[in-house]
Structure 1
Amino acid sequence: MSNKFYTIFMMVFLIGISGCSTGDSAEIEKVGLLVPETVSDGVWGTKGYKGLLKIQSDYNADVFYKESIKNDTSIKQAVKEYNDEEVTLVFGHGSEYSGIFNTLSGDYPNMHFVSFNGDATEENTTSLQFKGYAMGFFGGMTAAYQSNTNKVGVIAAFEWQPEVQGFIDGVKYQNSETELIVEYTNHWSDQDIAFEKLEGLMNHRVDVVYPAGDGYNVAVIEKLKEKGLYAIGYVSDQSDLGESTVLTSTVQHADKLYSIVAERFANDELDSGNLEFDFEDGAISMGKFSPVIPKDFQDEMKQHVQAYIETGKLPNGKESKQ
């Protein structure tokens, strides 16, 4: 074989290897993450961090993260620093990033900005939306089934959370006689307000609580465990906090969305605007069921979830509202 032919052969061979690789796109060289609190909270922030590490592993990318980035000034400074590092894909791990990302996007045309549960309006901005209504519905059914007092409570962060209305409708579908009390903290992580709301619920003899706020749900569940009451976990499978306390969990796999976004970005297929994800995407699931729940009801719930995945219909025959 001549040296010239050998050189051409090796060039073609190496190009072929490069083209077959699934994780070395030049478009994912550096990725940045911003979280409003910490990556070590064991719930929402940790899921974002795990998603970032998965991108690092899959694409051999350089990754960066910044904690406690929660106001416009700190976000602007963080984005500037990421731009200096030549980061091209930035995740803002929450709804608070979408507005400022829209504003900044024109100044950083080589970046793609990704946030959660917001409204992405610019060409290089994307918001990932969890369709939380169905998971809330299944959580509500479970809560109403297991309640001994027929009194169920919700401690939610904000009224716009679709899982809250889903939970309400699920409770009423399972047992229309159940009394339901819904409280709002207007903050994702204010434990003091959450504890105040919990005290009020317990005074009304509520025995199952859905703490739908990722910054205080663990603390609320621990309080419920002390009192021998029940909880529906939120964001993560929280059965490890107490199998006799956590009846099931409404799980959002934010870390999986990072992989979906990375793949689309690498293939130049990441759409701008608001993208929705649900059970059928593997982005949402129900957590482990507590052994205190009879197996026949557990089996029934699993069948309902599978039917929803296959048909888009909830047990009441309706489609998910959001």
Structure 2
Amino acid sequence: MQQSNQPRWILLLTVVVASGFITLMIFKVSNAFSELSSTQKLEDKTKVTILTSDEIVDQSWGSLAYMGQLKIEEQFPVEVTLYSEMKTEALLVETLEQALEAGAEVVIGHGREFSEVFTTFAPLYSDVNFVTIHGEAVHENQSVYSFNQGEIEKKAGIAAALISETKKIGLIDAVDAREDQPQFEEALYHVNPDLSLFYKVVDSWDDHSKALEYMEELVNEGVDVVYSRGNGFNRAVIEYGKKHQIYIIGYLEDQSYMASNWVLTSVMNDVSQMYIAIMKDYFSEEGIQHGVKLLTEEDGVYQLAPFGPMFTKEDLQYINE
């Protein structure tokens, strides 16, 4: 009896061992394919380099580049490297060379200051897309993404003209954009041709001390409304305005939370949305096109914040006509 059962047990044991071996092999092969798939996915990601001359801190121009990075990493198959504080030409050139040698396929300069160096590198790397936020595009693989917020700046200008009692209005700019963006000034004179505009350029997005120096000069001139078209220095300007009872027009975000009774409105920009527009074009059938592309309110890059409590219903109706 025992002898007749023995071959069956041997057969059963053989089947169990063989099944275990086959299962183990399937598991190993599955893991190998999974690792291969992950590697392939990583290799398929487009390498994007972002350059900014600013720091990556709250309320900074550079923080908008970081927000752009996060958004495109979430929405597109990209591998992004962000380099900040590109403050010298030597550091910029060295970093750009390293990025290109590492296989960067799209290089985005977070500001017009990168146009010149991109113009130098673009003909040397014809298969790379060089893109700047604002600026100039010379070569076929160079592009500029920009926007014209003129329509909402007109409304901000009308608001400033209506609220000013001294008829003296200041504009503190991060960069000299008076000729490129004249709509705010034009709106002032449309409301009252006798108004005076005092224009100051900080030459920085974040120089608090220089911006406050200009604020003091403007107050001494009798200015009672200031459009602060900066970024990092805006908080200092708004705090100064609140202290000296000067109305402020904010920039980039709704800045009424800093001084709700003294901020007329804010010209809001969501620069990070420009990165989505860039990569959306890159992955489109046509790809990124040479030249300048003007984004609109539909792209989510700008809008006007709600007006403050200092305006009457009649004022608001006039502004929005």
TM-score, normalised on structure 2?
0.79
Structure 2 match to 1:37: 54
- Aligned pair 1:250/2:258, yes or no? no
Match of 2:119 in 1: 102
**Structure 2: gaps of 5 or more residues:** 1-40
Q: State the match for 2:308 in structure 1.
A: 290
Amino acid at match of 1:220: V
2:164 paired residue among 147, 155, 169: 147
**Inter-partner Cα distance in structure 1 for 2:313 and 2:88:** 47
**Percent identical:** 29
1:227 aligns to 2:219 (yes or no): no
Please state how far the C-alpha of 1:221 moved relative to its aligned partner: 1.5
The question of whether the paired residues in 2 share the 8 Å contact of 1:188 and 1:213 is answered with: yes
Q: What is aligned with 1:240?
A: 257
| Structure 2 counterpart SS, 1:169 | helix
Cα 1:243–1:163 shift into 2, 3 Å: farther
The CA deviation string for residues 70-119 of structure 1, in whole angstroms up to 9 with x for no partner, is: 33222222222222432211211001001111111123333211112211
Unpaired segments of 5 or more residues in structure 1? 1-23, 305-322
Matched to 1:212, the amino acid is: R
Cα pair distance change 1:236/1:189, threshold 3 Å: same
Classify the secondary structure of the residue corresponding to 1:50.
Answer: helix
Find the counterpart in structure 2 of residue 199 from structure 1. 216
Q: Counterpart amino acid of 2:238? A: I
Looking at structure 1, the residues matched to 304 and 180 of structure 2 have their Cα atoms a distance apart, in angstroms, of: 13
Per-residue deviation, 1:235: 2.4
Distance 1:47 1:295 in 2: 35
Aligned Cα RMSD in Å?
A: 2.4
Equivalents in 2 of 1:206, 1:145: separation in Å? 14
Contact map agreement 2:145 2:278 (CA 8 A) in 1? no
Q: 1:44 and 1:162 mapped to 2: Cα distance?
A: 22
CA contact (8 A) 1:136 1:163 kept: no
- The Cα of 1:162 is off from its aligned counterpart by 5.0
Q: Is the Cα–Cα contact under 8 Å of residues 89 and 113 in structure 1 kept in the other structure?
A: yes
Moved more, 117-126 or 101-110: 101-110
| Structure index of larger Rg | 2
Whether the 8 Å contact between 1:153 and 1:210 is mirrored in structure 2 is yes
1:1-322 superposed matches below 5 A: 29-161=46-178, 165-267=182-284, 268-301=286-319, 303-304=320-321
